[in-house]
A and B are shown apart, each in its own frame.
Chain A
Amino acid sequence: MKATINMSCREIIIRRVTAAVCWSSALQAVLLVTVLFLLNFNPLHPILWIKQTATLSVSLGTWLYFCPVGLAICMQSIVSCKDFMEVRRYSGTRFAVYCNMFSFHNFIMVTLYTVTGALVTWMHLSLLEGKYGKMFAICSADDSKMCLVEGYLFLMLNGFWIGMYFFVNDYVFGNKRLYFPVVQQFKFLQVKAELQSLMKQAMIDSLSPSVYFVVIYYWNGGAIRGYISDILECNVEEKSQDTILGLMNTSELFYLWLFSSIFIFTIYNIKLMLRVNLTEHIFFPITSLVGNSNCLTLHQSLAMSDVPIIQYLGFLDLKVLAEKDYGRREQLFTLSHPGGHPYNWNAVVEETLKLIRKFTEDINKANTETKPAPESNEYVITKDYSPSKSFAIASSENQGTFVSGMRNMSLRVHNMSDISLCQSPSNFVHFQPRPFNVSQESILTILRLYSTQALDALCRKPGISFIFGDLPDAKVRYHLAQCQPVIWAIQGLSCLAAASFKEDHYGVVQKDLPAIITSVLQLKQSLDRLQKVGNYKRSQKTEHHDMKMKAALRSAVKQSLYTVCVTFGEYVKDMSLSKEVLQQIQHFLNFREG
């Protein structure tokens, strides 16, 4: 096993981001040389061709041109790694989602994307020289004047455009999650395996924005050209390019597509390197070493809920430790030397159980929150009033509710738990004993009721409910999207429990076994209640991902309960577990739980 690394949280992140920046800059440089090599293609003079490329690649000028791009990559890596350093904000309504789009962070990002897009184009144009190498050239009509080269302008504008387009397409609407690989390989192999498919993806992805740009340029190209030439106070060629024939220039279109592809690949490259470097498995020490009190230990990393990436790495390490690392497991199960307390184990299990319990609580809360509060109110109040009113009104009111109930059921037919909550007798019991008498209080109640009803009615108006209404299951999905550490936590705990069967000589795990089993079972119950969430709208990518997350969590919960049951067998019954828990565990012991 690799030696554990003694670093503080800050040190870990800085090191990884630096590595990511270096790797992506290096790859970008390699890409630049390759592009130069290919574009200087000269089949008639192959030696000249190679020589030219070689001189270009070693000349200082080339790398001076590369510097700004490298800087942009660096900036972008640093800014976008911030996504993984912070807990994602919850946005329950569409309005909140839109508001989040106009954050300061996104403003910086869009600037960076646009600048990078322009810089990539500028660098390649400058290095290729040729027709579009300079912004100005001697006019074809008048030798004494300098004219704006429209091709240059066209390609540079595309640089800005692709930056902006890709920001919206990839960053705003795309997936910002950090995917951990299924198994840890060497970083180089991971990059190698991904490169080819990313290159292909970039080439395909650049097609549609290029087409859009050509169309936009066809409509507005002349105006933009005029505007730019006014600002720069320069002349333009008489023949404009914003005609269909002008846009049919093959070499220009090729460059357009090529630079778009290179830019998109640059972004993918940055993301890939960040992912590979940030998700690399790390071995946290169990106890802080003497002399380096600054270093991050395992249980400290588990508690880092405000820096998700460190918490993720911590739980991943817990899982790996539980499955594969005998040495550190031994360290975890030992007692402290003076005193004989299992501090190491206690600290880890406390943090882990805290996370599992908090997640269970969040899920339960989110699940009950989705219950339609105003409707149940309406339902109950009508019931309350109906005896005192005439039968006709009551029945009509009843009918009204019934109809609205029907409609709402059809809206929420996916969420079975909601319906059961509405119909549960506890609601009636709570409201029915209240006597009906016309007093100031009841008038106030009615007024309040009407005002809420009016608000609800307003909220139900199509446009308003679309923007301000709660998104269905938003809260549940928000929590599910972040359940990866929970998965590792339960897998790690169950594996540790299984390992303790043979390795735990002092019985430090044994005292916590009932707590572990109970919390995992509680999580299972709340997940069972969630059964139907997210079973619709399969089309959207992120929602599909949340659904898979739920499946993964469910399967991990079952897997870990089975791990405990298979290892301990009938001994499980001897633990101090409550009756209900034992009953549920019995299903697992009999292998009757699907």
Chain B
Amino acid sequence: MNLALLKQLDARVTSHPRIAITRDLLHSSICREDTRRIFLPVSETLIKKVTNVWYKQGLVEALHLVAEPQDSREVPAALQVIAAYMLKVISGINYVHSLFRPHIRESGDKLIAAVSQTRAWPISAVRCLAWHPHCTKLAVAAWDDSVHVYSSGTTLTPILKCKSQRAVSCMAWRPMSASELAVGCDGGVFVWQVDPNSVVTRPSTSCATVLQRPHHSPVTSVTWSPQGDILLTASAADTAMYVWDVAMEKFVALRRVGGGGLSLVTWSPDGSKVFAATTGIIFRVWDTAQWTPERWTIASGHVQTACWSPCGSILLFATSEEPIIYSLTFCQRETVFQHDDASKTAVSVVDLTEVEVNEGERVGGIVESMIWDTRGQHLAVLFKKTDLIAIFSTELHVVLQVAPCCLVQGVSGEIPSCIGFQQNFEEGACLTIAWSSGRVQYFPLVRTDLKSERNIFQDSGAC
């Protein structure tokens, strides 16, 4: 490889912010619990204790406290019985409720972990990361639900955090804007305004617009339209996806029968389609002109991850059951030569069956997350069980061609948590990997051969 180019490339990445989410950066609610343990235990009256628990943890926990007290002399027997009965009634109601809404098998954090694109989401130091579409700016959500915004050229890292921003599961920067970040979490969606000229490191909650709807939580996926005017949010516990006009806080709910909650939504880069995966075997591809869905089914499981080609004509997806990447081709303009049946089935493109590479290192298996860079030259795959990241080089000719490129391994003991491509990397593609240790690594990929030049040219021609 050209040495000068390598140096230049190095320089491109060295100016990137160095990120390591270490344990001492995190301030979580667990820490708060710990501080409470430092103080001497105080004997509170029962009523005070119960109201305290009710206020902090909710009714069910309060009932549990009364039904199963640590000191049974404290609580009258009659109260215990009543509380136990009430708990039974509540669990019965929950059971009936789950019969009517069968798509919600789990709730809260478990549900997020099941559909999240982050490996080991509940314990991962980095919960998700998002690159800004136009400038070198990276948002990293840490395990304590604070969002750190790193940008090149400044050491200032604003931390976006507030009490109701709990269990962050997805983030997206608004296109055609410098500073707006949508954070999907348990309480809804926070659209933060991170003023690039401000020197405030902890923006207050007044900088955020909170978008909430009943039953629309936890939000597990957010995506902006490429023009940046509309935000789309989906929750794995809700069958509707919401289309938001953020400034007006107006919304339209899009709902169709079947499939259950929506785990993942992604807008195609050309803006004409939206991919929406449910927690069932159904997924839909919405046409954004009239907002009509095209319904697809997979054999089993649910769609775990999906990504669009830069021109929006090819969709790659992987399910939670098979180690295979499928592709779906959409024709942008109808032609006479278009074969109807060919475009109507998903084609398997890559078989990722688990194999052993050198010395017991294994790679492959079920896919956790999959991303495609903005030029359509590299495809990075993160697996559920194995610890190597596979990178494929792709070419978009008349048909999609995928060839293995390389594997990335962490420092010993590190497993990858989540991955992302830098959006404005001009020399090629810059893969960003967050490792379980909290380290964020940049992995630039550059191809200097003539072929890639041609590829770029053809890309812009074809798309």
Q: Which residues of A contact B (CB under 8 A)?
A: 1, 179, 181-186, 193, 323-324, 491, 495, 548-549, 551-552, 554-556, 558-560, 562-563, 566, 588, 591-594
Check: B291 CB closer than 8 A to any chain A CB: yes
Q: A324-B288, A324-B289 are in contact. Are A562 and B176 (CB under 8 A)?
A: yes
Check: B197 CB closer than 8 A to any chain A CB: yes
Task: Please report the C-alpha to C-alpha distance between residue A1 and residue B287 in the assembled complex, in whole angstroms.
Answer: 11
Task: Please report the C-alpha to C-alpha distance between residue A556 and residue B229 in the assembled complex, in whole angstroms.
Answer: 8
Which residues of the partner chain B approach A185 to less than 8 Å between Cβ atoms? 252, 254, 290-291
**Ranked 9 nearest A-B pairs via Cβ:** A552-B247, A594-B195, A591-B178, A562-B176, A591-B135, A551-B247, A559-B176, A555-B247, A182-B245
Check: B385 CB closer than 8 A to any chain A CB: no
Q: Encode contact with A along B283-319: 1 for CB under 8 Å, 0 otherwise.
A: 0000011111000000000000000000000000000
Which residues of the partner chain B approach A323 to less than 8 Å between Cβ atoms? 227, 271
The contact sample of 28 A-B pairs, CB cut-off 8 A, is A179-B250, A182-B243, A182-B245, A183-B243, A184-B291, A185-B254, A185-B291, A186-B290, A193-B252, A193-B253, A491-B227, A548-B248, A548-B249, A549-B248, A554-B247, A556-B229, A558-B176, A559-B176, A559-B227, A559-B228, A560-B176, A562-B134, A562-B178, A563-B176, A566-B176, A592-B178, A592-B197, A594-B193
Distance of A51 from chain B, by nearest CB (Å)? 33
Check B244 against A182 for contact (C-beta < 8 Å): yes
Further pairs besides A324-B289, A559-B228, A592-B178: 5, Cβ < 8 Å: A183-B230, A324-B288, A558-B176, A592-B197, A594-B198
Q: A193-B253, A323-B227, A555-B247 are in contact. Are A184 and B290 (CB under 8 A)?
A: yes
Which residues of the partner chain B approach A182 to less than 8 Å between Cβ atoms? 230, 243-245, 250-252
Check B179 against A548 for contact (C-beta < 8 Å): no
Task: Please report the C-alpha to C-alpha distance between residue A339 and residue B317 in the assembled complex, in whole angstroms.
Answer: 51
Which residues of the partner chain A approach B251 to less than 8 Å between Cβ atoms? 182
Task: Please report the C-alpha to C-alpha distance between residue A179 and residue B247 in the assembled complex, in whole angstroms.
Answer: 14
* CB nearest neighbor in A for B460: A502
Q: Encode contact with A along B199-213: 1 for CB under 8 Å, 0 otherwise.
A: 000000000000000
**Interface residue count for B (Cβ, 8 Å)?**
38
Which residues of the partner chain B approach A186 to less than 8 Å between Cβ atoms? 290, 292
Task: Please report the C-alpha to C-alpha distance between residue A179 and residue B250 in the assembled complex, in whole angstroms.
Answer: 10
Check: B348 CB closer than 8 A to any chain A CB: no
Check: B255 CB closer than 8 A to any chain A CB: yes
Contact of B252 among A183, A549, A552 (CB under 8 A): A183
Task: Please report the C-alpha to C-alpha distance between residue A183 and residue B232 in the assembled complex, in whole angstroms.
Answer: 11
Check A559 against B177 for contact (C-beta < 8 Å): yes
Check A566 against B178 for contact (C-beta < 8 Å): no
* CB nearest neighbor in B for A192: B255
Contact of B247 among A548, A588, A591, A593 (CB under 8 A): A548
Task: Please report the C-alpha to C-alpha distance between residue A588 and residue B255 in the assembled complex, in whole angstroms.
Answer: 38
Q: Encode contact with A along B161-180: 1 for CB under 8 Å, 0 otherwise.
A: 00000000000000011110
Distance of B452 from chain A, by nearest CB (Å)? 21
Check: B157 CB closer than 8 A to any chain A CB: no
Distance of B201 from chain A, by nearest CB (Å)? 16
Which residues of the partner chain B approach A566 to less than 8 Å between Cβ atoms? 134, 176
* CB nearest neighbor in B for A594: B195
Which residues of the partner chain A approach B132 to less than 8 Å between Cβ atoms? 591
Which residues of the partner chain A approach B289 to less than 8 Å between Cβ atoms? 1, 324
Contact of A491 among B195, B229, B243, B272 (CB under 8 A): B229
Task: Please report the C-alpha to C-alpha distance between residue A566 and residue B374 in the assembled complex, in whole angstroms.
Answer: 15
Task: Please report the C-alpha to C-alpha distance between residue A88 and residue B8 in the assembled complex, in whole angstroms.
Answer: 61
Task: Please report the C-alpha to C-alpha distance between residue A591 and residue B134 in the assembled complex, in whole angstroms.
Answer: 8
Check: B196 CB closer than 8 A to any chain A CB: yes
Check B248 against A183 for contact (C-beta < 8 Å): no
Which residues of the partner chain A approach B252 to less than 8 Å between Cβ atoms? 181-183, 185, 193
Task: Please report the C-alpha to C-alpha distance between residue A576 and residue B91 in the assembled complex, in whole angstroms.
Answer: 70
Check A594 against B230 for contact (C-beta < 8 Å): no
Which residues of the partner chain B approach A560 to less than 8 Å between Cβ atoms? 176
Interface residues of B in 228-242 (CB under 8 A from A): 228-230
Task: Please report the C-alpha to C-alpha distance between residue A360 and residue B254 in the assembled complex, in whole angstroms.
Answer: 36
Which residues of the partner chain A approach B194 to less than 8 Å between Cβ atoms? 594
Task: Please report the C-alpha to C-alpha distance between residue A554 and residue B245 in the assembled complex, in whole angstroms.
Answer: 13
Check: B111 CB closer than 8 A to any chain A CB: no
Interface residues of B in 354-383 (CB under 8 A from A): none
Residue picked from B177, B249, B251, most chain A C-beta under 10 Å: B177
Check: B62 CB closer than 8 A to any chain A CB: no
Which residues of the partner chain A approach B197 to less than 8 Å between Cβ atoms? 592, 594
Check: B246 CB closer than 8 A to any chain A CB: yes
Which residues of the partner chain A approach B247 to less than 8 Å between Cβ atoms? 548, 551-552, 554-556
Which residues of the partner chain B approach A588 to less than 8 Å between Cβ atoms? 178
Distance of B229 from chain A, by nearest CB (Å)? 6
Check B248 against A324 for contact (C-beta < 8 Å): no
Which residues of the partner chain A approach B249 to less than 8 Å between Cβ atoms? 548
Check B178 against A324 for contact (C-beta < 8 Å): no
Distance of B462 from chain A, by nearest CB (Å)? 13
Which residues of the partner chain A approach B292 to less than 8 Å between Cβ atoms? 186
Distance of A408 from chain B, by nearest CB (Å)? 28
Check B229 against A193 for contact (C-beta < 8 Å): no
Task: Please report the C-alpha to C-alpha distance between residue A559 and residue B228 in the assembled complex, in whole angstroms.
Answer: 7
Which residues of the partner chain A approach B134 to less than 8 Å between Cβ atoms? 562, 566, 591
Task: Please report the C-alpha to C-alpha distance between residue A206 and residue B218 in the assembled complex, in whole angstroms.
Answer: 34
Task: Please report the C-alpha to C-alpha distance between residue A552 and residue B228 in the assembled complex, in whole angstroms.
Answer: 12
Which residues of the partner chain B approach A491 to less than 8 Å between Cβ atoms? 227, 229
Residue picked from A562, A566, A594, most chain B C-beta under 10 Å: A594
Check A563 against B196 for contact (C-beta < 8 Å): no
* CB nearest neighbor in A for B250: A182
* CB nearest neighbor in A for B246: A555
Task: Please report the C-alpha to C-alpha distance between residue A555 and residue B247 in the assembled complex, in whole angstroms.
Answer: 7
Task: Please report the C-alpha to C-alpha distance between residue A183 and residue B248 in the assembled complex, in whole angstroms.
Answer: 13
* CB nearest neighbor in A for B133: A566
* CB nearest neighbor in B for A560: B176
Q: Encode contact with A along B268-282: 1 for CB under 8 Å, 0 otherwise.
A: 000110000000000
Task: Please report the C-alpha to C-alpha distance between residue A183 and residue B228 in the assembled complex, in whole angstroms.
Answer: 14
Task: Please report the C-alpha to C-alpha distance between residue A559 and residue B176 in the assembled complex, in whole angstroms.
Answer: 5
Which residues of the partner chain B approach A594 to less than 8 Å between Cβ atoms? 178-179, 193-198
Which residues of the partner chain B approach A558 to less than 8 Å between Cβ atoms? 176-177
Distance of B181 from chain A, by nearest CB (Å)? 12
Which residues of the partner chain B approach A551 to less than 8 Å between Cβ atoms? 247-248
Q: A559-B227, A563-B227, A591-B134 are in contact. Are A552 and B178 (CB under 8 A)?
A: no
Q: A179-B250, A591-B135 are in contact. Are A559 and B229 (CB under 8 A)?
A: yes
Distance of B271 from chain A, by nearest CB (Å)? 7
Which residues of the partner chain B approach A183 to less than 8 Å between Cβ atoms? 230, 243, 252, 254, 288, 291
Which residues of the partner chain A approach B245 to less than 8 Å between Cβ atoms? 182, 552
